[in-house]
Chains A and B, each alone.
Chain A
């Protein structure tokens, strides 16, 4: 196996151009190391961990710029993330063990493109953008366009994720990330649901409701019909019930060793209801009647 430690993004991109499908990019390594041991060893390993300045977390253009090499624990430790992006902070906090959070990078979690990736539904709900770079130039695209399928992204085999731009949520918004797993953070989510909303001026209705679903479709997805169903309305028990069922119908979960598809549907329903109720309560100070 060939091994490279590029010192710049350009150097990494030219290695990917040269080695194409043979090359595997490694950063934190918490997934790739398992592949190397238990699946086929890649033809060449491109370790981008030592490229400088790719782990910054800083304020930028009305939001937060996150370098892909920032570890999950660095997100968790960042005051900027905790105060301004509490939804992403919450997902980072529910992400595996401390040992893994100290090693795993947000870029790795994203580029792995596992539908259950903990940070992905929150990034969709926050309407974050990916900065993708190829040897012939860089572009930004919303994460809704970035994920193509399990393990598939618009990077293909020759692109690198070089930044994550997360706009600040609207003032007064509230968001929750709810994860269902047997062993808490240590487990991969059976279902993860991110809900974000604001209230209208007299706090009588929810506005701009956004719902992201993880682990229940080939990619993390939004639930646009459910968002439209709830936005602009006062939340009552009947609407909450309708929204839960609607979100479940917008998911397409598979059955695997962690859960049956049918069970995942019930959990989408339950977590969507719970997320909406929590947002309603936080935004209006009232229980759902």
Chain B
């Protein structure tokens, strides 16, 4: 049984069918083609699939695709301004906060959501914002440097 839903991703309106048991991550990647949303643990623990749903960061692997009907989503593909990267993306490059890169889209989306909430986050705010994102290369120090740089540039 296909279910038709209408949603907005990165400002683009989509109408598409999905099986009702489909997780949002699979719908975004396989049906709509947003491959920047990474599938990793598939149980809501690692944060690689983090997207912003109606203003809040969520793990798209444990959100029912059908719950995105009418929702406004932002993925890592949607945060640059044309050719200009989002300050968090640019800061990840400038500080070397990327190692293997698989966790990066999730971290960037979590940190973009953080800087949307607060202009000058404390170390504690940063820790909380990315407590649900795992970097298995363990490059956390550079990631902290990146958000600090991004916040400074956005001030």
A residues sitting closer than 8 Å to B (CB atoms) are: 1-3, 5, 26, 29-30, 33-34, 36-38, 41, 45, 47, 49, 73, 96-100, 102-103, 184-186
Known: A33-B62, A99-B58. A3 touches B20 (CB 8 A): yes
B residues sitting closer than 8 Å to A (CB atoms) are: 1, 3, 19-21, 23, 42-45, 47, 50, 53, 56-59, 61-64, 66-67, 110, 128-129, 131-133
Residues of B within 8 Å of A37, CB to CB, are 23, 42-43
Pairs A-B, 5 closest by C-beta atoms: A97-B132, A3-B20, A102-B56, A33-B62, A99-B132
Residues of B within 8 Å of A36, CB to CB, are 21, 23
CB distance from B115 to the nearest CB of A (A): 14
B50, B61, B64 interface centre (most CB from chain A within 10 Å)? B64
A37, A38, A47 interface centre (most CB from chain B within 10 Å)? A37
B62 touches A73 (CB 8 A): no
Residues of A within 8 Å of B21, CB to CB, are 1, 3, 36, 41, 45
Closest to A36 in B: B21
Please measure, in the bound complex, the distance between the C-alpha atom of A5 and the C-alpha atom of B47, giving whole angstroms.
27
**Interface residue SS majority, chain A:** mixed
CB distance from A3 to the nearest CB of B (A): 3
A99 touches B47 (CB 8 A): yes
Please measure, in the bound complex, the distance between the C-alpha atom of A1 and the C-alpha atom of B3, giving whole angstroms.
12
A47 touches B57 (CB 8 A): no
Q: List 17 A-B contacts (CB under 8 A).
A: A1-B21, A3-B3, A29-B63, A29-B67, A33-B64, A45-B21, A47-B64, A49-B67, A98-B128, A98-B129, A98-B131, A100-B132, A102-B56, A102-B58, A103-B59, A186-B131, A186-B132
Closest to B56 in A: A102
Q: Taking A99-B58, A102-B57 as given, write out 11 further A-B residue pairs in contact, using a Cβ cutoff of 8 Å, ordered by the A residue number.
A: A5-B66, A29-B63, A29-B64, A29-B67, A33-B61, A36-B21, A37-B23, A49-B64, A49-B67, A98-B110, A185-B131
Name the one of B62, B110, B131, B132 contacting A34, with C-beta atoms under 8 angstroms.
B62
Please measure, in the bound complex, the distance between the C-alpha atom of A37 and the C-alpha atom of B110, giving whole angstroms.
25
CB distance from B66 to the nearest CB of A (A): 7
A99 touches B1 (CB 8 A): no
Closest to B109 in A: A99
A99 touches B50 (CB 8 A): yes
Please measure, in the bound complex, the distance between the C-alpha atom of A36 and the C-alpha atom of B66, giving whole angstroms.
14
B20 touches A1 (CB 8 A): yes
Please measure, in the bound complex, the distance between the C-alpha atom of A19 and the C-alpha atom of B66, giving whole angstroms.
20
Name the one of A29, A33, A99, A186 contacting B110, with C-beta atoms under 8 angstroms.
A99
Please measure, in the bound complex, the distance between the C-alpha atom of A241 and the C-alpha atom of B63, giving whole angstroms.
45
Known: A3-B1, A34-B43, A186-B45. A100 touches B20 (CB 8 A): no
CB distance from B56 to the nearest CB of A (A): 4
B58 touches A103 (CB 8 A): yes
Closest to A37 in B: B42
Closest to A42 in B: B21
Please measure, in the bound complex, the distance between the C-alpha atom of A3 and the C-alpha atom of B58, giving whole angstroms.
23
CB distance from B118 to the nearest CB of A (A): 13
A33 touches B63 (CB 8 A): yes
B42 touches A103 (CB 8 A): no
Please measure, in the bound complex, the distance between the C-alpha atom of A280 and the C-alpha atom of B82, giving whole angstroms.
59
Residues of A within 8 Å of B66, CB to CB, are 3, 5, 47
B131 touches A2 (CB 8 A): no
Please measure, in the bound complex, the distance between the C-alpha atom of A186 and the C-alpha atom of B47, giving whole angstroms.
11
A103 touches B63 (CB 8 A): yes
Known: A103-B59, A103-B63, A186-B45. A33 touches B23 (CB 8 A): yes
CB distance from B143 to the nearest CB of A (A): 15
Please measure, in the bound complex, the distance between the C-alpha atom of A5 and the C-alpha atom of B64, giving whole angstroms.
12
Residues of B within 8 Å of A185, CB to CB, are 131
